[in-house]
Structure 1
């Protein structure tokens, strides 16, 4: 077996506001595995490395990638525990190859078009008027769960946005999740959590920056609003690390981003440990292309979850790939008559 990789730059249709600034492009890396006797048949995966978040977002990524290539050629195992994006992309490529190179990563009624996945409507950061416009658009499209990225504008304006939703839709009709991306401080976190709770917000992701377990534990104890850990999961590589964090902080939820926390296998361990402790969870994509999203959606469909998931829809980029994923209202489905364009994929800048 052989492994090749292809770096790729995804271009946003419009600048995307995040807690880490404005994004105009997103770098990713595709992996393909194939039998040298028939290179036209290959398994495809996406290592969605994320600068500033991925533990391996430096030169180590390509050194480990070269090691992985050599070991694949020799039929040897590679320890990818500390390289979650590579682990995620390699898992995908191997699964696709094993299923006959058809873009099928997980068998389920989902890939037969017989089930779908409820997702949240993500409202990107922006100025007040732009975010209100985006909220109205998501609500008119039929989303019953809205996720707001907060922390980019004045706090009072952000509260106004939530009040705008609640004036039209009670909590029984529309669920509101917020993601602070670590934007709160020790001084303002508690009053803000109380105010969000008063407005019927479902939960908040990462109210303070990761790496402050004592304060996060305290907030989880006293907050009337359920807290979900997101970035806090990054860098917890061993089972012992994961157990220690969950048992100490005791969050209400965890947010799973496979490309940042050890691929699908690593995420499944997080799910098992969380469920053993009565901790809820949902899955969120990490700006993947349609290649990664396709694999991610197929995996999520096997988890039998009943709450909205944070999956992307592939609509962010100008140079994305054709996909079998379709969005109808707030339901993400798979069209079996459509496929990833493997000819388009084969024409990428593949490197040995």
Structure 2
């Protein structure tokens, strides 16, 4: 098989601020795998869990240049061997995600079936996506909610908290959003921006505000404190940055209620499926999330969406120059289409 790749830069309509900083653009990599006159597509979306803006795009390009010659001898159906090769060569999860995604897209196109149907999944089981409101002033947060409402039928709102200005600012922003969207359920993601003491204080207050769950209340490295929160928090706890792959799930299962799976953390569709099944086997709920992903990656996640409880797949909706067209918004749901493979096409400019 032949592997080609090219970087592309995408820009956010509204910059997103979380506890680690603000991001307005991202340079991703489009990966194309060809064999038997069929081309499968994947996307690498570099990210950082330490500091926004510190991305490893150059590393991904270097990895693809390094591994591409070794992939030439394989057929796209040899996913197990390809995965073992990538892991043996310490290829990052972002690069693995792009390659694995392209292999599954190729498979669906080879079978001339949408991947969701090939996997035997039920599109009617897909729940609505949430839309994200980043850290902002109260008035800025209200405006962002209105912007989302102009774009789509908003069913759920995820609010980024963990403001550098402290929990008083967090509370003020959340109350402003409640005022603007009084009938829409709210979730909270602190992105590790709280201390243990503030997480305990905020959880009690957020429960009184009717928030559904809290995501990543503590920073990576503070997982030992999650059990204390688990025992005392009145709200379900989800983890994101603390859970990269299926290997992380067993050690977290006794101190959280759910995990956030992202394609770029997991390393591809194969690992996403493993994580779902292991999490469910541990009695955990599952959420899908995204980084600065285009429609290509979010469509790949939408294909697997019938299997999960919450969906936070809105990054492509905030792009002014998304180069792809894929899953469609219908009544707040991101639904894969009936085209073969992932069902993604290139936008004609």
Q: Tell me, in whole angstroms, the C-alpha distance in 2 between the residues paired with 1:299 and 1:42.
A: 21
TM-score (norm 1): 0.81
Aligned counterpart in structure 1 of residue 334 of structure 2, from 314, 321, 332 = 332
2:220 aligned counterpart, secondary structure: coil
Counterparts of residues 1-352 of structure 1 (less than 5 Å): 1-35=1-35, 38=37, 41-52=38-49, 57=56, 61-75=60-74, 77=82, 78-80=85-87, 83-100=92-109, 104-107=114-117, 117-138=127-148, 141-152=152-163, 153-164=165-176, 166=178, 174-234=184-244, 236=245, 239=247, 241-247=248-254, 250-301=255-306, 303=307, 305=308, 307-312=309-314, 314-336=316-338, 340-342=344-346
- Secondary structure class of the residue paired with 1:274: helix
| SS in structure 1 of the partner of residue 196 of structure 2 | coil
On the 8 A contact 1:119/1:332 being kept in 2, the answer is yes
Compute the displacement of 1:114 (Å): 6.9
Distance in 2 between the 1:136 and 1:342 partners? 29
The Cα offsets for residues 77-136 of structure 1, whole Å up to 9 and x where unpaired, read as: 323376211222111111222222779443279999877541112212222211022234
CA RMSD of aligned residues (A): 3.4
What stretches of structure 2 of length at least 5 have no aligned partner?
A: 75-80
Cα pair 2:261 2:286 within 8 Å, conserved? yes
Q: Which moved more, 1:178-187 or 1:111-120?
A: 111-120
TM-score, reference length from structure 2: 0.82
Q: Alpha carbons of 1:168 and 1:316: their partners in 2 closer, same or farther (altered >3 Å)? A: closer
Q: C-alpha offsets along residues 261-294 of structure 1, whole Å, 9 cap, x if unaligned?
A: 2322222222222222221111112221111122
**Counterpart secondary structure, 1:26:** strand
Cα contact 1:31–1:90 (8 A) shared by 2? yes
Distance 1:133 1:121, change over 3 A: same
Q: Structure 2 vs 1, CA of residues 95 and 127 (structure 1 numbering), >3 Å: closer, same or farther? A: same
Cα distance between partner residues in 1 of 2:16 and 2:221 = 26
Structure 2 CA distance for partners of 1:280 and 1:203, relative to 1, 3 Å? same
For residue 317 of structure 2, give the secondary structure of its aligned residue in structure 1.
coil
Distance in 1 (CA, whole Å) between partners of 2:116 and 2:68 is: 24
Instruction: Give, in whole Å, the separation in 1 of the partners of 2:160 and 2:273.
Output: 26
Report how many aligned residue pairs link the two structures. Answer: 332
Q: How many Å apart are 1:215 and its aligned residue?
A: 1.3
Listed as ranges, the gaps of 5+ residues in structure 1 are: 346-352
Give per-residue Cα distances to partners, 1:194-237, cap 9 Å, x unaligned: 11112111111111101112112211221112111110013x5x
In 1, Cα distance between equivalents of 2:120 and 2:155: 21
Note the C-alpha offset of 1:151. Answer: 2.1
Cα distance in 1 between the residues matched to 2:138 and 2:224:
33
CA pair 143-343 structure 1, distance change in 2 beyond 3 A: closer
How many angstroms apart in 2 are the aligned matches of 1:99 and 1:287?
Answer: 25
- Given that residues 325 and 347 in structure 2 are in contact (C-alpha distance below 8 angstroms), is that contact kept between their aligned partners in structure 1? no
- Greater helix content: 2
